[in-house]
Amino acid sequence: MVGIVIVSHSKQLAEGVRELAAQMVQGKVPLAVAAGIDDPENPLGTDAMQVYEAIASIYTDEGVIILMDLGSALMSAEMALEFLSQEHRDKVHLCEAPLVEGAIAAAVAAASGSNIQQVMAEARGALLAKATQLGVDMSHIQQETAHVSTSFVIEGQRTNDTGHVTKEIRLLVRNRLGLHARPAAKFVATAARFQSQIKVKNVTKNIEAVRADSINQVATLGVRQGHELVITATGSDADEALAALQALVESHFGEEETTLLPHYPTTSSLQHPISTSSHHFLQGIPASSGVAIAPVFLYCPTPIDIQQYHVDKIEEEWQGLQVAIQIAQEEIQALLSQASIQIGDAEAAIFDAHLLFLEDPVVLEAVHQRIFEQHLNAEAAWQAVVDELANHYRSIEDSYLQERVADVVDVGQRVLRLLTGFQSHIRISDHSPTHLHLCDPAILIATDLSPSDTARLDPTKVLGICTTSGSAICHSAIIARRLGIPVIVGLPTEILQVADNTLVALDGESGRVWIEPEPEIQTALEAKREAQQVAHQQALTTASSPAMTRDQKQISVFANIGGLSDTEEALILGAEGVGLFRTEFLYLERTTPPSEEEQLVVYQSIAQLLDHRPLIIRTLDVGGDKPIPYLNFPHETNPFLGWRGIRFCLDNPDIFKTQLRAILKASPGHQIKIMFPMIATVQEIQAAKAMLAEVQAELRQAGIPFDENMEVGIMVEIPSAVVLAEQLAAEVDFFSLGTNDLSQYIMAADRTHPRVATLVDAMHPAVLRMIQQTVQAAHKAGIWVGLCGELAADPLAATILLGLGLDEVSLNPQAIPEFKQAIAQLTMAEAEIIAASAMQQNSAAEVRELVRKL
Ligand code: PEP
Ligand code: MG
């Protein structure tokens, strides 16, 4: 039977609602309450962990619906979903229905054996009876209720004043967080591809139609799971536009919530409460769990001082702004590439929304108007529009949207800094030489931290974060969770008075911070940290087993890493080796290439940690979306089609041979393999092998040992390599398919360009067929073939990849346990049938639908 969780700020209110609902159904329906907080002086509030426990207490496979009162109740409920496994999360639904009426209607429906969709529909329609009695028009709700069990499309058409036909569709949004930043970015990017004027309206919230090509307007619609949209398109390509938007919404924006939080709170970790009654602590909102004890680093960015004045040369002012925006775009692009290596493409996509902000026609028109009509200087005009927008987000009664203020401010400040030539928005602490680059491990304390700042943090140095603002669902918190850094937000401002270097302890699970903690607090927290680690290890025991189908076919599961810190985590999460070490990381954030010795230390340390498991080191894949300033790349019109990867390395033998020497020197006693990126031709692999042979000869002559049998492979990520797979296979020991690049090159769509993002989907049958072609050629030649693109981290792809005959996959470490689970449920024959059928589909959306139906 479907269960119901009631979330309220007031325990009494929640208990009352439960009593009413239980009475209606004679206690037949599982009802749980998560309400109030454990503070006798101020008991009103909500707590994500309580919501999580309430869900866990009544969970069955038939599902759970959560009804909430307001404000932070929604946030706590959303956060609680983060703690659930993917499988459970899919069956737990947040419902926007009114609390009292919704709970009663839902309970009655659940008691009659209705499924989760019907229970949701009943809850949403709960105001109908009351409204009818009071004579209020509720037709829009009736309509949704009637159609709620299916994603539906009602097509309509009318002609507008200009003679253009306006087409209309209605769609139901089903993905978990609705049109939050990333789906909103995809929605806007898709809409902007078309000539037609496209508008979108949130029917459920009765919010007026807005321009679909404005990220800010779309975001402020507050579209959540279960909301109904009406999209209209007027113009010559209206049909195509609506079809594209429909496909996007129905594919749930390509969202698969795969992330297993690295340090998510577990019930077992809760069994180690810290006795704190006699010790003073500051209470904040827990945003990323984990324990940290370290000295304080106080981070105080200096605000940029803006002067407002009259300008006559308005054209120059506008041009200056355009230049600043362009540089900001380049900076965000670089940040996005770095973040996608470090935290994965999915989380890094947060910065896609930043890029779209800079293209938002509504923002740009507003700034233009201030400069050209009011003769305001660019800084003041820009700041005024950004402030207005941020205030608009703040005023919306939607906690998720309120959290987007941080993104608006982040992008706004970036442009302002460039416009004013403001150099460093810096700290007051003196133990760091540069912006947020800490020399020693510390706990960072700040009023707030922007997503850009957070993405650049080094988790080995920043052991914890405390802020006075923010929330558990702000982008900075999401990024910090991905980096495994404990975070507490919303702390009292008292925390900002703590002097630099003071010892502080924090517990990211309870949201508590101790300043100069007593020895017993430190001991208790250390014990808790240990207990969490043990619990985490236990939860991952199945992840350390091989990925084996029911009929005992095994596929190797390796990890993609960017450095030493990822390796340890990867092993805990069940990696059987490293299938892709992106060495670009060694070259970033410095002014000269890393020396042979520096590289040797890193390669050896990782190999040592892997303890004879395979380590595939990919040689420098610079260029494209990974520009490295000191390598003096010329400006390129199409960097992805330019001087990239092996092309750059073959032209820079000094840099290339230094890396090859370091890899070879690290190889004795380990299972190191070398992999060349961006191979498009047979000549390139031959040239790369020739340079490798030169280095090997030099080492032999110098009597320096290396693994003479080291395997050499290539990334298959350019369509020509697929076509030439047979010839290339004769040159190497293995292939690894790079589907991130392969899909962008197959589709001729830049993988970092938000406007064409929906085209770059490795689930597309065109990409799947290329994978199959490569696997067949490799096996025919007797070499093994793996895949290291993000596709492997998509749980829906596991079946297909197995069925396509891959010998190995290498993925983001967090996705490993789930991948292994998916493999264990299949037989090889089943996987092959599914893969064959996937290749017959017409689109990536159809492939996903096929797998979902299984
Ligand atoms: C790929 O292209 O699929 C890949 C794994 O490499 P990168 O994302 O680093 O280009
Ligand atoms: Mg690549």
User: CA 547 to CA 553: how far, in whole Å?
Assistant: 8
Highest mean pLDDT among 43-47, 380-384, 445-449: 380-384
| Position with higher pLDDT, 706 vs 84 | 706
| Catalytic option among 466, 474, 649, 788 | 788
Q: With left for phi above 0 and alpha for psi between -120 and 50, is residue 501 left, alpha or beta?
A: left
Q: With left for phi above 0 and alpha for psi between -120 and 50, is residue 586 left, alpha or beta?
A: alpha
Closest CA to 584 of 335, 330, 334, 338: 338
Active-site residue, 263 included: no
Global confidence as pTM:
0.53
Who contacts 691 (Cβ-Cβ below 8 Å, separation ≥6)? 650, 653, 656, 657, 660
Structure confidence at residue 400 (pLDDT): 66
What band does 266 get if pLDDT is binned at 50, 70 and 90?
A: very low
Ligand 1: residues within 6 Å at CB? 580, 582, 621, 717, 738-741, 788-789
Statement: residue 294 has pLDDT above 50: yes
Structure confidence at residue 787 (pLDDT): 98
Q: With left for phi above 0 and alpha for psi between -120 and 50, is residue 365 left, alpha or beta?
A: alpha
386-407: per-residue pLDDT in tens?
999 998 888 876 666 776 788 8
Mean pLDDT of 699-728: 98
Sheet holding 503-507, edge to edge: 282-283, 512-515, 503-507, 291-298, 442-446, 462-467, 487-489, 285-288
Q: With left for phi above 0 and alpha for psi between -120 and 50, is residue 184 left, alpha or beta?
A: alpha
> Is residue 734 a contact partner of residue 577, using CB atoms and an 8 Å limit?
no
Please give the single-letter amino acid code of residue 725: A
Six-digit token string for 112: 């009659």
User: Cβ atoms within 10 A of the Cβ of 542, count?
Assistant: 12
Report the separation in Å between the CA atom of 726 and the middle of ligand 1, taken as the mean of its atom positions. 22
Beta-strand runs (E) in 109-224: 156-159, 165-172, 197-202, 207-211
What band does 350 get if pLDDT is binned at 50, 70 and 90?
A: confident
User: CA 505 to CA 269: how far, in whole Å?
Assistant: 17
Structure confidence at residue 525 (pLDDT): 92
599-603-606-607 Cα dihedral, nearest 10 degrees: -160
Active-site residue, 635 included: no
801-845: per-residue pLDDT in tens?
999 999 999 998 878 988 998 898 899 999 999 999 999 999 999
135-137-138-142 Cα dihedral, nearest 10 degrees: 100
Nearest residue (CA) to ligand 1, atom 9: 582
User: Cβ atoms within 10 A of the Cβ of 208, count?
Assistant: 8
What band does 297 get if pLDDT is binned at 50, 70 and 90?
A: very high
Which residues, listed in sequence order, are joined to residue 462 by a DSSP beta bridge? 442
Q: With left for phi above 0 and alpha for psi between -120 and 50, is residue 486 left, alpha or beta?
A: beta
Six-digit token string for 290: 């984990």
Who contacts 677 (Cβ-Cβ below 8 Å, separation ≥6)? 618, 619, 621, 645, 646, 714, 715, 717, 738
> What does the radius of gyration of the chain's CA atoms come to, in whole angstroms?
28
Structure confidence at residue 406 (pLDDT): 82
| Position with higher pLDDT, 141 vs 1 | 1
Statement: residue 271 has pLDDT above 60: no
Please give the single-letter amino acid code of residue 39: D
| Residues of the chain by 3-state class (helix, strand, coil), percent to 5 | 50, 15, 35
Structure confidence at residue 397 (pLDDT): 66
| Position with higher pLDDT, 344 vs 366 | 366
What is the rounded end-to-end Cα distance, in angstroms, of the chain? 22
User: CA 791 to CA 559: how far, in whole Å?
Assistant: 13
Structure confidence at residue 163 (pLDDT): 63
Report the separation in Å between the CA atom of 652 and the middle of ligand 2, taken as the mean of its atom positions. 19
Statement: residue 150 has pLDDT above 70: no
Q: Which ligand is nearest to the CA of 793?
A: 1
Closest CA to 794 of 840, 745, 761, 771: 761
Instruction: Give the least confident one: 37-46, 154-163, 463-472.
Output: 154-163
- Ligand 1 atom closest to 625 (CA): 10
User: CA 713 to CA 735: how far, in whole Å?
Assistant: 6
- Phi, psi (degrees; rounded to nearest 5) at 586: -65, -20
- Burial, 553: exposed, middle or buried (Cβ in 10 Å; 0-12, 13-18, 19+)? middle
Statement: residue 305 has pLDDT above 70: yes
What band does 323 get if pLDDT is binned at 50, 70 and 90?
A: very high
The residue length of the chain stands at 854
| Position with higher pLDDT, 145 vs 701 | 701
Q: How far is CA 202 from CA 151, 179, 458, in A?
A: 15, 11, 40
- Phi, psi (degrees; rounded to nearest 5) at 148: -65, -25
User: CA 592 to CA 402: how far, in whole Å?
Assistant: 42
Six-digit token string for 305: 């001082």
| Position with higher pLDDT, 495 vs 41 | 495
Top mutation candidate among 740, 745, 747 for ligand 1, by most atoms within 8 Å of CB: 740
What band does 425 get if pLDDT is binned at 50, 70 and 90?
A: very low
Report the separation in Å between the CA atom of 788 and the middle of ligand 1, taken as the mean of its atom positions. 7
Mean pLDDT of 77-100: 83
Highest mean pLDDT among 94-98, 124-128, 285-289: 94-98
Six-digit token string for 774: 């490569």
> Is residue 322 a contact partner of residue 473, using CB atoms and an 8 Å limit?
no
Structure confidence at residue 6 (pLDDT): 96
Closest CA to 602 of 538, 530, 696, 666: 666
Give percent of the chain above pLDDT 90.
47
Report the separation in Å between the CA atom of 247 and the middle of ligand 2, taken as the mean of its atom positions. 27
User: CA 311 to CA 321: how far, in whole Å?
Assistant: 14
Nearest residue (CA) to ligand 1, atom 6: 738
Q: How far is CA 119 from CA 6, 94, 466, in A?
A: 14, 12, 40
- Phi, psi (degrees; rounded to nearest 5) at 180: -80, -175
Structure confidence at residue 153 (pLDDT): 36
Statement: residue 130 has pLDDT above 80: no
> Is residue 59 a contact partner of residue 267, using CB atoms and an 8 Å limit?
no
Statement: residue 107 has pLDDT above 60: yes
247-260: per-residue pLDDT in tens?
888 888 876 543 33
Who contacts 696 (Cβ-Cβ below 8 Å, separation ≥6)? 664, 706, 708
CA angle, 383 as apex, 380 and 388 as ends, to 5°? 125
Closest CA to 76 of 103, 36, 42: 36
Q: How far is CA 231 from CA 153, 156, 170, 183, in A?
A: 10, 10, 6, 15
What band does 265 get if pLDDT is binned at 50, 70 and 90?
A: very low
Statement: residue 794 has pLDDT above 80: yes
What band does 435 get if pLDDT is binned at 50, 70 and 90?
A: low
Structure confidence at residue 247 (pLDDT): 87
Top mutation candidate among 625, 741, 751 for ligand 1, by most atoms within 8 Å of CB: 741
Six-digit token string for 129: 């009876």
What band does 340 get if pLDDT is binned at 50, 70 and 90?
A: confident
What band does 634 get if pLDDT is binned at 50, 70 and 90?
A: confident
572-597: per-residue pLDDT in tens?
899 999 999 999 878 876 789 999 99
> Is residue 485 a contact partner of residue 456, using CB atoms and an 8 Å limit?
no
| Position with higher pLDDT, 492 vs 156 | 492
| Catalytic option among 9, 252, 263, 475 | 475
Nearest residue (CA) to ligand 1, atom 4: 738
Structure confidence at residue 734 (pLDDT): 98
> Is residue 744 a contact partner of residue 760, using CB atoms and an 8 Å limit?
yes
Across the chain, mean pLDDT equals 85
- Phi, psi (degrees; rounded to nearest 5) at 215: -60, -35
737-772: per-residue pLDDT in tens?
999 899 999 999 987 665 676 788 899 999 999 999
Nearest residue (CA) to ligand 1, atom 3: 738
